[in-house]
Amino acid sequence: MLAKQITYTDYNGEEVTETFYFNMTTLEATKFAAKMNGDIEKHIAELIRKDNMLGIIRLLSEMILGAYGKKSEDGKRFIKNDELRNEFEDSAAFAELVENLLSDPEEAAKFGEGIGTSKLQAKMDKRDAQPKLKVAALNDHPDFSGMTNAQILELLQAKKEQ
């Protein structure tokens, strides 16, 4: 979870500093990444390469609003709903945050790390680096039902080494 202090000028013309909270569960981050074919960093790099400012703004907005919420008083829940998101999106604080992240790539990277997207990216990179089992190797053994997990693992390991 990321607690982010944002200083902005409200619609009464007063400068205000508030703390806002952002977090993505692994499931939320996975859904977010799935929209980009599983590779957030590659998608961002492509948007930058194409100088697609509207795409970058949409991505940042979606990431921010997808992570925004409020902690319950007892700290056991992180509450997210459309009403809270809409309220935040309509605020000058949201506009200030988007502007800050657009103008400072390091701050944007820290934000992504703080809400949990970098953990997901690391998991996906680790998953992609692991050797893939060939499905054909599994077809050499017609029935796993009578085998223990250890026997199945031994068989798979032997097939992998071939």
CA distance 8 to 117: 26
Read off the pLDDT of residues 40-60 as tens digits, 9 standing for 90 and up. 888 888 998 999 999 999 999
In terms of residue numbers, what domain contains 162? 131-162
Residue 119, pLDDT score: 52
Q: Judge if 98 and 146 occupy the same domain.
A: no
Q: Judge if 112 and 41 occupy the same domain.
A: yes
Considering only 31-35, 94-98, 115-119, which range has the smallest mean pLDDT? 115-119
pTM exceeds 0.85, yes or no: no
Closest of 4, 66, 68, 3 to residue 33, by C-alpha? 66
Q: Judge if 79 and 110 occupy the same domain.
A: yes
Please check the confidence at residue 142 and state whether its pLDDT lies above 50. no
Residue 145, pLDDT score: 54
Q: Judge if 50 and 69 occupy the same domain.
A: yes
Please check the confidence at residue 104 and state whether its pLDDT lies above 60. yes
Q: Judge if 54 and 96 occupy the same domain.
A: yes
Considering only 16-25, 66-75, 108-117, 134-143, which range has the smallest mean pLDDT? 134-143
Comparison of pLDDT for 28 and 6, the residue scoring more = 6
What percentage of the chain exceeds 90 in pLDDT? 51
For the residues 134-156, what does the mean pLDDT come to?
53
CA distance 149 to 47: 45
Considering only 12-16, 25-29, 86-90, 94-98, which range has the smallest mean pLDDT? 25-29
Q: Judge if 88 and 143 occupy the same domain.
A: no
Our count of domains for the chain comes to: 2
Considering only 49-58, 96-105, 120-129, 131-140, which range has the smallest mean pLDDT? 131-140
Q: Judge if 17 and 78 occupy the same domain.
A: yes
Please check the confidence at residue 137 and state whether its pLDDT lies above 60. no
Q: Judge if 91 and 12 occupy the same domain.
A: yes
CA distance 85 to 91: 10
CA distance 136 to 132: 12
Q: Judge if 126 and 146 occupy the same domain.
A: no
Q: Judge if 81 and 158 occupy the same domain.
A: no
- The phi and psi torsions of 82 (rounded to 5 degrees) equal -60, -40
The residue count for the chain? 162
For the residues 124-151, what does the mean pLDDT come to?
50
Q: Judge if 124 and 143 occupy the same domain.
A: no
Residue 162, pLDDT score: 61
User: What one-character-per-residue DSSP string does the chain give?
Assistant: -EEEEEEEE-TTS-EEEEEEEE---HHHHHHHHHTTTT-HHHHHHHHHHTT-HHHHHHHHHHHHHHHEEEE-TTSS-EE--HHHHHHHHTSHHHHHHHHHHHH-HHHHHHHHHHHTHHHHHHHHHHHHHSPPPPHHHHHTSS--TTS-HHHHHHHHHHHHH-
Q: Judge if 44 and 26 occupy the same domain.
A: yes
